[in-house]
Amino acid sequence: MATYAQVQIKSTYNKFSKVVSQRGYSGGQLARYILDDRRMREVTIESIPGELSDHYDPRSKTLRLSQGVINSNSIAALGIVAHEIGHAIQDEKSYAPLKIRNSIVPVANLGSGLAFPLFFVGLFAGMPIFMDIGILLFALAAVFSIVTLPVEFNASKLAIKILADGRYLTAKELPLAKQVLSAAALTYVAATTMAILNLVRLLILRGSRD
């Protein structure tokens, strides 16, 4: 499922990165227009390397856009920009799921890196305590994935509203931007599903050792 989701987002992004917006805004221009219109001038914009590496950093109030997005006037680029600004709006409004997600990032990162090694050390060494710690750490990583879903869905909803209300995209272009954001959302659904399934597998293995 994760592979399918990645293929889907890449395919959709590549398709609509070739469709130029009628308004002609680049991703960087659109970002600044929207932020200024919402009086969010404290949010800075940075260009970063990579593809689909775009993100909003709530710690520094920075919107980081990949070069293929910040310089592009495609439907795909503008949809991504609006989505990331959606996260900035969530931060401004202290959106609860975002606050929860941000608060557990360090623990979730630790959990995703250590959970499996600890669990299998415990499994093969016959040390249940290590298995339990591994399960606990992975459960925290799974919670992070679950909390991410409403954060991402809400950011996409905000993105479409921003693009429609500001008339940054035409009525015919909005459904195309929705396709890009829906494909991106699928990757988060896939990640969450895999996290839950892996947690279940660990619990079954742990139960078999009792």
Active site residues: 84
Q: Are 160 and 176 in contact (CB under 8 A)?
A: no
Give the sheet arrangement for strand 55-57, strand by strand: 44-48, 62-66, 55-57
Q: Give me the helices (H) in the chain, please.
A: 2-16, 27-37, 67-70, 75-92, 96-125, 128-165, 174-208
The token duo for 200 is 């279940």
Rounded to an integer, what distance in angstroms lies between the CA atom of residue 108 and that of residue 196?
14
For the CA atoms of the chain, what is the radius of gyration? Answer: 20
